[in-house]
Chains A and B, each alone.
Chain A
Amino acid sequence: MFRRTRIVPTLLVAVLPSLIASAQQILTPAQAKSKKILLVIGEPEKGETNDDGLVKKYFENQGYVVTMAKEDDPATKATGQDLVVLSSTADPREIGDKYADVPVPVFTWNAVDYPDMKMTGPERHVDFETIDSAQDYARSFSMLYGYFPNATDPIVKEFGGKTQLFGTGYLLPQNFGWGKPSAGADIIVNTEGDATHAGVFTYEKGVTMYGGFVAPARRVGFYIQDSTFHYLTEVHGLAEKDPDLADWWAGMKLFDASIRWALSQPVAPGPYDPAATKAALAKAAKGKKALFVRRLNTPEGEESDDHIVEHLKEVGFIVKEVDQTQPQAEADGEDFILISATNSKYKTTNKYRDAKIPLMCLEGLMADTLKMAGRRRYVDYGEHGEAKESEDPPEAYLEIVNSNHPMAAGLKNGYVKFIKEADVLKWATPPPSATIIATLPNSTHERAIFGFEKGAAMADEFVAPARRSMFPVDNPAFDDLTEAGHALFDAAVLWTISPPTK
């Protein structure tokens, strides 16, 4: 009895972040009322107008309490506020980085200030860009069309958006800005048909932003500019009753949901406790059937695969082992698929891609067949440390970028020793709908641990039939995993087999 009371809280602590991350509650409009917003604006040029007044009026109509600030006001004005909003009318050189480390959520459409806010890299046209409807007339039509890469994102879910194109702005060429956020960000909208051009993107509190900067509170980048807020689409009348039309004109719903997300309680990271993580996995795995796909009688990695099986059994899975060449029908009736790195991608073919049960893959080179990344070898996926195949040296560390996520096992952002000795580590660059947990050091686009929520658009617009995750355990690395590496493995399996967010 005494023991149980000690164990249960520990388990709860471990499972709680997972539950919180799954829920990602966004304040309702009623709950958000009376929240305090600091709106930082600049002086309009003589003879020019902007939408700052409209934005203020909109916020006030929602019940927010708005305080205005000028671009040269000190950042201390943010003290006591629930949200800082940076308009693009504020001179980015004046505001600089003064709001970068405020522990208050920041919502900004000042794209030129993204680098100072540590939301993107510093290079205009490379890391971020502002499109001018006069100078970049043809490109400025792109603001009419946004793309939601991940309908399972809490902001998109908030208003029932789908993984598809939608009409952001009204039917006129418009100024807009985009950014290329770091791996820890979630891309809510991309634009110009380029998955890396994020029109709307978010950073959860505590994730790694550009240059290793840790987000002190939530951050949102949004692609409107000085005078385009009033073009954010709405739908009324008969069109509102047509689901296709209602889904299309979603610009204002997106803005509203993004503001409320920024105002909502951030997800708190769980503590690093490998034993608790393993215990939580055991609780979730008990009685579940796991299909372990491996190369039977492999010349290398057999012992490591055996140890993976032993571990799965130890935490309660009922494990069935099949060879890479056996048919996908072997997965019928199973609850979880784990694909070993001993498999040959060439022999495993496209199997399990469309399996309707959770799947975790340990072989980064299979990212394309499993629709987790594009098909360009050593561009969309690759490896470090493989002789003759990689120009990168062997590696032992990963860089955690999203400590809030349950797959991070409570590890803090930054380098973590993953395997005991530097060896081969695989990576892939998944589409923006993936949630990135860890990258390879000094190669932020080379993502080592990541996951797709059920329903997210994977590569080639393939919709994830169930949760999917990638985890870099090359053969025979399972035996070389550090304590943190094992904790990450357990946390990744736990997240993958947990129920998807509704």
Chain B
Amino acid sequence: MSRLFRVSAGFSLLLLLVLALPAQTYKAIGEYKLKGTSAKGLVVDSDGRRLFVADGDGVTVLNADTGVSVATIGGLKGAQDVILIPGMSGEEKVPPTKGFASDETGRVIAFSLADMKPTATIKLETSGPALLCYDIDAKTVEAVSASGSLTTIDADSNKVVKAGKIVTGVGQVACGNMGHVYVADPAANVVHVLNHETMKNDGDYPMKTGNKPSGLALDTKGRRLFVSCEDGTIEIIDTDSGFTFIELKGGAGAAHETFAWLPQGKGQWKAAAFVVQEDGTLSGIRMNAFINYSMGGQYKLSPGLRSVTYDDKTHHLFITSMNSGFPVVLVVGY
């Protein structure tokens, strides 16, 4: 047997083994009940094992492993979204020490993870529900009001750096790529590309075939934007050109997304965007290469899925949902 043949045979065997690995099947493995009547945005502090859920008039803090409520952060009315600010020690990420949350009246609070108390309140340019994203390069929190404004907040000082009225949308927001804030606008069927340095719209990304984009996730390294539409189309956009180069089929209804590297640990998916939709579908968009993505799997959970976040310690997903009219957090694993 030639060396070339042995190498080829060995490689083929390895490939067969990899292909033979069972596909990851995500399923609900737990459910945390919430008080109140709604549950919207959520985020997990993987190091501190705490789960932050925007619900009612504040942020409910749960033990991420048991679902036991450990604190409530007040100061909001109709909480909409919550994010944590990753701490940095030089180039290394360290556990977060603060977070921001928004509500439906155009208010944003900063809070401390040490005592779970608000440390600042910021009034946005316009009232109405606002969503948040963190620009890790600029170290700013971007607050996008569905009523039509963008506010840039210095994540360290909690001060407003810039603010202005601008056309937005009611869909998810994402940022962290060259000063841009991406805003899904189902009504206009586009993703707005806002520039938080100039406070201007740098142009819109129209949907290729999808209708009513509402979910967004951004891979800041590959500069890919994953856009989920309410009609079930998922478009993957190269943000350098604004071009949709892949379309996949998702679930139906309003969508929310999160992006994660190595979502099942080493040797499995390189990265994935997870999409949850109103009809109860969880879609895992698998990265095969920066220019190649496929539907890694689709899993039927209960209807009423709202928001999703990824826990990089357990590789679980936490999803807010309405279960028989009551808000819950689903714990989803494989």
Contacts and interface: CB of A to CB of B under 8 A. Distances in A.
Interface string A224-264: 00000011011111111100010001000000000000000
Interface stretch (B163-171, B200-208, B314-322): B200-208
A237 B245 contact: no
Which of A54, A235, A237, A240 has the most chain B CB atoms inside 10 A of its CB? A237
Interface stretch (B91-99, B109-117, B236-244, B262-270): B236-244
B136 to A, nearest CB: 20
Contact of B291 (A172, A233, A238, A240): A172
B2 interface: no
Nearest to B191: A237
B245 A238 contact: no
A236 B206 contact: yes
A57 interface: yes
Q: Is the interface of B mostly helix, strand, loop or mixed?
A: strand
Interface string B243-262: 10101000000000000000
B207 to A, nearest CB: 10
A171 interface: yes
Nearest to B202: A238
Given A234-B241, A234-B242, A245-B241, A240 B203 contact: yes
A99 interface: no
A230 B205 CA distance: 16
Contact of B205 (A54, A172, A233, A236): A236
A234 B209 CA distance: 14
Contacts of B208: 230
Q: Which size bracket describes the interface of A in this complex?
A: 10 to 19
B89 interface: no
B292 interface: yes
A170 B238 contact: yes
Contacts of A249: 241, 243
Interface string A378-410: 000000000000000000000000000000000
A170 B202 contact: no
Given A171-B291, A172-B291, A235 B241 contact: yes
A239 B245 contact: no
A54 B244 CA distance: 13
Contacts of A236: 203-206, 241-243
B203 A234 contact: no
Contact of A237 (B202, B209, B292): B202
Contact of B193 (A54, A57, A238, A245): A238
Contact of B243 (A54, A57, A234): A234
Contact of B209 (A57, A235, A239, A241): A57
Contacts of B243: 170, 233-236, 249
Given A170-B245, A245-B241, A249-B241, A238 B203 contact: yes
A57 to B, nearest CB: 7
Interface string B194-231: 01000000111110110000000000000000000000
A324 to B, nearest CB: 52
Contacts of A245: 241
Contacts of A57: 209
Contact of A172 (B195, B209, B240, B292): B292
Nearest to A233: B243
Contacts of A237: 193, 202-205, 239, 241-242
A240 B242 contact: yes
Nearest to B195: A238
A490 to B, nearest CB: 50
A250 to B, nearest CB: 11
A79 to B, nearest CB: 31
Interface string B63-95: 000000000000000000000000000000000
A170 B237 CA distance: 11
A240 B240 CA distance: 10
Nearest to A171: B291
Interface string A51-65: 000100100000000
Contacts of B203: 236-241
Nearest to A57: B209
A236 B247 CA distance: 17
Contacts of A240: 203, 242
A19 to B, nearest CB: 38
B191 to A, nearest CB: 9
B211 to A, nearest CB: 12
Given A235-B242, A237-B241, A241-B202, 14 more contacts: A57-B209, A170-B238, A170-B243, A170-B245, A171-B238, A171-B245, A172-B292, A231-B245, A233-B243, A234-B242, A236-B203, A236-B242, A237-B242, A238-B242
Interface of A: 54, 57, 170-172, 230-231, 233-241, 245, 249
6 contacts: A234-B241, A235-B243, A236-B243, A237-B203, A239-B203, A240-B242
User: Which 3 A-B pairs have CB atoms at the shortest separation, nearest pair first?
Assistant: A236-B242, A237-B203, A237-B242
